[in-house]
Amino acid sequence: MFIRRTKSRARIHNAPSPKFACSSFKDIHSLLSDASSGCVGGDGDAPNSPRKLSICHRTRSVNALLRSLSLPPQPPDQLSKNGEIRIPDAEKKIVVYFTSLRVVRRTFEDCKAVRSILRSFRVTIDERDLSMDSGFMDELQRILGQSEKSKLTLPRVFIGGRYVGGVEEVKHLHESGQLRKQVEGLPAADPCTCEVCGGHRFILCRVCSGSHKCYNSEKSGFRSCTMCNENGLIRCPSCSSAPL
């Protein structure tokens, strides 16, 4: 019986061991010391040591991946330090980008619902109608960092200069009571309708009388007016602030 056990042990001892296998804790310590020495400098390592190169290569790859993931992304121009989308000079009012056109019924209804909710708090609201001035579209694209107009949905709301969201976000905040807390402290709106524009926030251009064309001379003829938008309108100087 003793001889058979000795033979079986000899067979196990002579059998080829799998890669990274070890039969004692001593081998584990030697393997870890080889891996650490190969990653630090590697001047005294053997050039024909595939095990050390493999461990060092994997360690360097993991470290490079962790460094790349830890780098913060480059924020757009309209992002604040904490990652919020903000617009300048709007800390004391609400800014709403919407459309008054009824071409898309759902968009028109969403804009109407959001404006109705915000107006119920009777605070200062800067309403920017994209259908009245296409410059608001370019302005909103620049703020949100979107290059395609087809992906830009309306309305878009900013409270105190900070981006809040669209119709779903405004309704959720209103139902939970958080919207009232966000508009607290904002200046109250003027209850009287503007006598200059009648509440439309736009008036006819006084230079071209709303035609967006000016007659320069007999040689050059008509040219586009540079004082108004494509509709021959300018923002009301009495109740509207200048665009960004």
Q: Where would I find the H helices in the chain?
A: 2-14, 25-40, 50-70, 105-119, 135-144, 167-176, 178-183
How far apart CA 201 and CA 126 sit, in angstroms, is 9
Cβ(149)–Cβ(137) below 8 Å = yes
Stretches in the chain below the pLDDT threshold 70? 1-83, 241-244
Helix (H) or strand (E) holding 19: none
The pLDDT of residue 223: 87
pLDDT in tens, 215-225: 877 777 888 99
pLDDT tens-digit readout, 179-189: 999 999 999 98
Where on the phi/psi map is residue 83: left (φ > 0), alpha (ψ -120 to 50), or beta? left
Going along the chain from its start, the domains and CATH numbers come out as 2-70 (no CATH), 94-183 (3.40.30.10), 202-235 (no CATH)
pLDDT at 221: 81
Residue 162's pLDDT is 94
DSSP letters along 72-132, please?
A: PPPP-TTB-TTS-BB-TT-TTSEEEEE----SSHHHHHHHHHHHHHHHTTTB-EEEEETTT
The alpha carbon of 35 is separated from its chain's Cα centroid by a whole number of angstroms, namely: 43
Q: What is the pLDDT of residue 220?
A: 75
